[in-house]
Amino acid sequence: MSGTTSVSTRFRADRWWSAGSLLTIGALALASAIPLAVFGQWQVLLVLLGAVAGGGIVTWVGRRTLQRQRLALDRLEDLLERRAEQIAALSHELRTPLSMIKGATELLLEESPGPVNRIQEQFMRSIAQQCNQVIRLCEGLLVQAKIESGLFEPRFEQTDMSGLVRDVVLAMRSLSAECNQRITLDTPQVVSAIPVDPGLILQALTNLLSNASRFTSNGGRINVRVVEIDDGMAVYVSDDGDGMTREQRAQLFRRFITGRPLADGTGLGLVITKDIVELHGGSIMVDTTARRGTTFVVTLPAVRPS
């Protein structure tokens, strides 16, 4: 955004400068073309002085416009930085008490203080689940605020995407086992390493698999495939759920839109995933049809983005 604004500002300033220069040159040409017999030397001198003064005024106006636009751009950058700092502070203030509530709930579930009955156990599991959801929301808001404000710099490392995807799938299999869902993985044993931030890509892939798990029914299947392409790597995540309509597809990468009514989650997962992939110079595509499942395709370049 700042790069586009700066280019536009320079273009306007150059346009003002050009207008002043053309005015001066035109007046000089006009003055030189008029015979001295028509106007005396003093009249020609006055014309020249007026032309130079007019060009200076136009140039001064252009510089003032450039200065005002630079000040407006600085104020906008300060506003974005303050917004990111406020969200970071809010996320921290919320996560700390929520983590304490979650820890206390887990101790009660382990029956460390004493035995609990079945109804109490259900209530405590509900508390722990809601705490986890709000903690994920805080973390998602923090990551997205940093990326959008330009304060976030990924740490690129030459990474084996096959091994990274395998780690994500193994972690998700233990969670999906509760829903009796099966996650299959198709990946080459050896692939070329590409420059990525492992932590960010791990989060993006986890978001995609979590989203696929929410949309896959009990006993359903999720397929993950890694393919080495000419200019990098592609990761496919497919589910056999209900898919999405055209209207749901249009709302897919918007905050707090989950893609279906009464669904778990906040809709931030896919928004953050898209931000992370684009931060790496990659792209994310969706192939979905109502009642026929959904496939997300993430492509990452083989070279580090400039």
pTM: 0.59
pLDDT tier, 38 (very low <50, low <70, confident <90, very high otherwise): very low
CA distance 232 to 300: 6
User: Could you report the per-residue pLDDT of 262-288, keeping only the tens digit for each?
Assistant: 344 455 778 888 989 998 999 999 888
CA distance 231 to 280: 13
Helix (H) or strand (E) holding 146: helix 118-148
pLDDT at 113: 83
Give me the mean pLDDT over the 109-115 stretch: 85
Neighbours of 135 (CB within 10 A): 17
Structure tokens at 44: 């020609």
pLDDT at 296 over 90: yes
Structure tokens at 148: 């959008």
Report phi then psi at 149, rounded to 5.
-85, -5
CA distance 73 to 152: 19
User: Could you report the per-residue pLDDT of 86-98, keeping only the tens digit for each?
Assistant: 666 766 677 778 8
pLDDT at 173: 84
User: Could you report the per-residue pLDDT of 133-165, keeping only the tens digit for each?
Assistant: 777 777 777 777 777 666 667 889 999 999 999
Mean pLDDT of the chain: 75
